[in-house]
């Protein structure tokens, strides 16, 4: 299956490392120009831009803030000439017993992982509707379905991302396709830091696939969703998880 995204303009949040990096690279290698959004990771973001090999750019922004989301979208449109693909991937994780979580910590995780999806969609959708349409891909997590002890704000936010895509798909179809990806355990710096913090071990042996996912496997899922091959996908959530979750 050949995928050609030449002429398409994409914005990927949280794209300096991990899954976001793989998605940005996958879109770029399929021909899209990509805005690589980061926060405090300028060197890593510039390395992603260099690896993209297209007319891509790095933009620093805090997508949990409305004005930053608007600026991010406007800068992308001004620099790339438009916006056809939005990937909401920015996320943080907090591993902490529920009764010890502060209001500030709860708000920070929900703002980064869920509110940012609302803000970026609100900024990007008018641009897409004013042109030939586009597609939005919201990155959730298998934990948005399963839940996990000591991950309450993260799982609540990802569950919100899963549900939000259904409502947006019904509201903006057929002109804008809105779908999502709910990855399983993936070999990223975020997962490594979680395991180091908790002292746990990756549970890849408990999965039918017998291993962790690779970021590029999530990236290729996003590339397919962004392409014409997924033209009949509206409100779907793809789950590359090695069999960790079946539903």
- Going by C-alpha positions, the residue among 89, 70, 81, 80 that lies closest to residue 24 is 89
**What DSSP string runs through 114-156?**
IIHHHHHHHHHHHHHHHTT-EEEEEE--THHHH--TT-HHHHH
The token duo for 179 is 């779908």
Distance of alpha carbon 69 from its chain centroid, rounded? 15
Which of 17-31, 150-164, 188-202 has the weakest average pLDDT? 188-202
pLDDT of amino acid 191: 59
The token duo for 244 is 């960790």
For this structure, is 151 an active site residue?
A: no
What is the pLDDT averaged over residues 176-202? 72
Question: Residue 146 pLDDT > 70, yes or no?
Answer: yes
How far is it, in rounded angstroms, from Cα 8 to Cα 31?
Answer: 7
Place of tokens 């789950």: 239
| pLDDT category of residue 206 using cuts at 50, 70 and 90 | low
Q: What is the pLDDT of residues 55-101, one digit of tens each?
A: 899 999 999 999 999 999 999 999 999 999 999 999 999 999 999 99
Check 145, 151, 154, 233 and give the catalytic one.
154
DSSP 100: G
The whole-model pTM stands at 0.92
Q: What is the pLDDT of residues 15-25, one digit of tens each?
A: 999 999 999 99
Question: How many residues are recorded in the chain?
Answer: 247
Structural domains in the chain plus CATH codes: 9-238 (3.40.50.720)
């Amino acid at each position: 299956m050949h995928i050609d995204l030449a002429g398409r303009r994409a914005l990927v949040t949280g794209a300096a490392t991990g899954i976001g990096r793989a998605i940005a690279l996958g879109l770029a290698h399929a021909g899209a120009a990509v805005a690589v959004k980061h926060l405090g990771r300028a060197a890593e973001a510039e390395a992603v831009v260099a690896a993209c090999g297209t007319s891509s750019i790095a933009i620093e922004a805090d997508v949990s803030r409305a004005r930053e989301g608007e600026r991010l979208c406007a800068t992308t449109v001004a620099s790339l000439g438009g916006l056809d693909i939005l990937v909401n991937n920015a996320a943080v994780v907090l591993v902490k017993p529920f009764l010890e979580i502060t209001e500030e910590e709860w708000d920070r995780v929900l703002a980064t992982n869920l509110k940012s999806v609302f803000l970026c969609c609100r900024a990007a959708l008018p641009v897409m509707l004013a042109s030939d349409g586009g597609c939005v891909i919201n990155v959730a997590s298998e934990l948005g379905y399963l839940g996990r002890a000591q991950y309450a704000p993260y799982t609540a936010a990802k569950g919100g991302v899963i549900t939000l895509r259904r409502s947006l798909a019904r509201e903006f179809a057929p002109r804008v396709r809105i779908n999502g990806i709910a990855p399983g355990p993936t070999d990223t710096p975020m997962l490594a830091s979680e395991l180091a913090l908790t002292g746990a071990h990756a549970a890849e042996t408990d999965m039918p696939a017998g291993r962790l996912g690779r970021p590029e496997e999530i990236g290729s899922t996003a590339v397919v969703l962004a392409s014409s091959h997924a033209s009949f996908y509206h409100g779907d959530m793809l789950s590359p998880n090695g069999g960790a979750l079946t539903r």
